[in-house]
Amino acid sequence: MNRSRLPRHSAAPRTPRLGQHFLASPAALAMILKAAGRDSQGTVLEIGPGRGVLTLPLAERFGAVIAVEKDERLAATLDAILKERKIANVRLHAGDILDLFPKQLNLPDHYAVVANIPYYLTGRLLRVLLESPARPKRMVLLVQREVAERMVAKPPHMNLLALSVQAYGSPHIVAEIPSTAFSPPPSVASAIIEVREISNDFFTHQAVPPEKFFSLLRAAFSGKRKMLINSLAKPLGGKDRARALLGESKLAANKRPEELSLNDWITLARIASH
């Protein structure tokens, strides 16, 4: 057997559909599974399982796997594989995760997300998962490397995605994965990223509603290269009030949004809310 590629049943169609690039590297699969860990009583939500290359070993390591596949043909193929192998702890849903999550999935209070996410879906899916009251406690994701690097960014390279993820959890890059690990190979490299300790505690402890925090961020980053005094003038009620609130927050009016830390933003949001 060629151990540099995964078994034939997991092979992908020649042309990717719905932005899919299927994992074909045993080494990359092993790294994802190591990061995911084991929990015989735990539940994993897998998004975009394809033909089950990740689903099957997850079923061996966790008490339950809830798999959501948008591609009806792949869902049918995976369903047949699960029945053939008599795997009873995988619950397969054929549909769009954005339509099904969370109400139609019957998720427990504590669960993890482990997934190879289509590139086009990453940003929107992260927002949906993290901002929901039914958010996971942990995520292990295979994403575009550039997106992973944005998620772990620090000042002066902060961005809206980094602040959104870091407000809810602690992200770190587990490993970089080359494009050759996929079939068909994408044009860019990927990375495994883990987000631990996901919760709403940051906003609760800081006494700032998430809606106000993100409203401020969206206004600031809509004019990324603008100075704060300019990008925040409208949401803060004019330049004079913006200058006063920035001063009270001990932030220079000529700074740019990517230069501020998560704590800088939460301080400004808290002062602006009063």
Instruction: Encode pLDDT of 201-210 as tens digits.
Output: 999 999 999 9
Kindly indicate the confidence band of residue 273, based on its pLDDT and cuts at 50, 70 and 90: confident
Q: What is the mean pLDDT of residues 68-83?
A: 97
Fold of 204-273: Helicase, Ruva Protein; domain 3 (1.10.8)
This model's pTM is above 0.95: no
C-beta separation of 36 from 28 below 8 A:
no
Considering only residues 188 and 5, tell me which one the structure prediction assigns the higher pLDDT.
188
Domain 8-199 has CATH 3.40.50.150: yes
pLDDT in tens, 20-38: 788 999 999 999 999 999 9
**How far is the C-alpha of 7 from the C-alpha of 142, rounded, in Å?**
20
Kindly indicate the confidence band of residue 232, based on its pLDDT and cuts at 50, 70 and 90: very high
At position 56, the amino acid (one-letter code) is L
C-beta separation of 84 from 90 below 8 A:
no
Please identify which residue in the block is written with the tokens 């009583």: 41
For residue 174, count other CB atoms closer than 10 A to its CB. Answer: 17
Backbone angles phi and psi of 142, in degrees to 5: -105, 115
> How many angstroms from the chain centroid is the CA of residue 194?
9
Cite the residue boundaries of each domain of the chain with CATH code 1.10.8.100.
204-273
Cite the residue boundaries of each domain of the chain with CATH code 3.40.50.150.
8-199
Q: What is the pLDDT of residue 120?
A: 86
- Whether the per-residue pLDDT at 19 is higher than 90: the answer is no
**How far is the C-alpha of 149 from the C-alpha of 12, rounded, in Å?**
27
Q: What is the mean pLDDT of residues 107-115?
A: 97
Looking only at the bridges linking them, the beta strands covering 62-69 and 138-144 are: unpaired
For all residues of the chain together, what is the average pLDDT? 92
**How far is the C-alpha of 14 from the C-alpha of 181, rounded, in Å?**
15
pLDDT in tens, 49-71: 999 999 999 999 999 999 999 99
C-beta separation of 129 from 135 below 8 A:
yes
